[in-house]
Structure 1
């Protein structure tokens, strides 16, 4: 049976919770119900779900451009409660910590996908114009069929969000669906 994989990017407390240090505001909160439903859908089908999770050291150079966020081991680097409780005992939940925009940079994501050999990778998460875009770019460079749910991605910058969706569709060849 062909395997589909859901990739959930940076649905972490520092990005989604209202008191998060780099939260995406109302746009980030707005996608939570959709993301939860997608996760449930993939769980019901016993399909793998990969959680790409920002996890920085306290001295990360990225903090010269962005506020300190998602420091490894802190509550802000944890999955939002709605997802953490949902997947607690799900055997096909794979967590991939990352230190840069792409989920592939210095992680084992390539090997995980190689082992799973999916026919398609489905994408939800934040931020559309940063971590989502650069992970989708890497997926497409590896020729994975990539499906991005417009209702399941968000950014703190609506203009950049729309631009990134267009780039992923017209330049990278990702499928953008509701």
Structure 2
């Protein structure tokens, strides 16, 4: 069994308060497709969703980014087709609030994966060079095999996106997958 971890594909990160914009919109179909595919294959799917409290001066991101993904707001809703997929398969998807870049930091993700005997994690979502990267590094440091779906990750920083994709492969030993590019 393997797991798909979809990171921060929410309204605020796609077109809202901290938007990736067009690069994120372009991966919408692929993320929804991957989510459905993993569920239908009997694999585990996690929605790792950023959760912030409004006016939290102690959160380290408050100095770096505009307020986003505030609890209780529509900005935390999954974006577009992924929201529809989530509604169709809600009982099959593990929703997990995260409060730091990595989906492992301060959450029960590692325990949940190990309880299910999962050793291979697949990553999709935004931002490639921030939350996806930090989740990949923490997964690597915990001994998981990594796969990053290049056609299902995006960033508002094109240079950071390219660097992170290379880092996944060269430094973390991740398999970088892209549906439009045949496997070697």
TMscore range, shorter length: over 0.9
Equivalent-residue separation in structure 2 for 1:42 and 1:114 (angstroms): 18
Q: Is 1:159 aligned to 2:159, yes or no?
A: yes
Equivalent-residue separation in structure 1 for 2:45 and 2:23 (angstroms): 23
User: Unaligned stretches of 5+ in structure 1?
Assistant: none
Equivalent-residue separation in structure 2 for 1:27 and 1:159 (angstroms): 13
| Residue correspondences, number | 174
> RMSD of the alignment, in Å?
1.2
2:182: which partner in 1?
A: none
Equivalent-residue separation in structure 2 for 1:170 and 1:46 (angstroms): 30
Equivalent-residue separation in structure 2 for 1:73 and 1:96 (angstroms): 15
Q: Is 1:123 aligned to 2:119, yes or no?
A: no
1:169: which partner in 2?
A: 169
Give SS of 2:176's match. strand
Q: Counterparts in 2 of 1:1-178, with a 5 A limit?
A: 3-16=1-14, 18=15, 20-60=16-56, 61=59, 62-90=61-89, 91-178=91-178
Runs of 4 or more above 3 Å deviation: none
- Residues 73-106 of structure 1 show CA distances to partners (whole Å, capped at 9, x for unaligned) of 1110121142222122522200110111011111
- Residues 42-98 of structure 1 show CA distances to partners (whole Å, capped at 9, x for unaligned) of 122122100110001113331221001001111101211422221225222001101
Give SS of 2:118's match. coil
User: Unaligned stretches of 5+ in structure 2?
Assistant: 179-184
Q: In terms of mean alpha carbon deviation, does 116-125 or 152-161 score higher?
A: 116-125
2:181: which partner in 1?
A: none
TM-score, reference length from structure 2: 0.90
- Given that 2:126 and 2:153 are in contact with CA atoms closer than 8 Å, whether structure 1 keeps it comes out as yes
TM-score, reference length from structure 1: 0.93
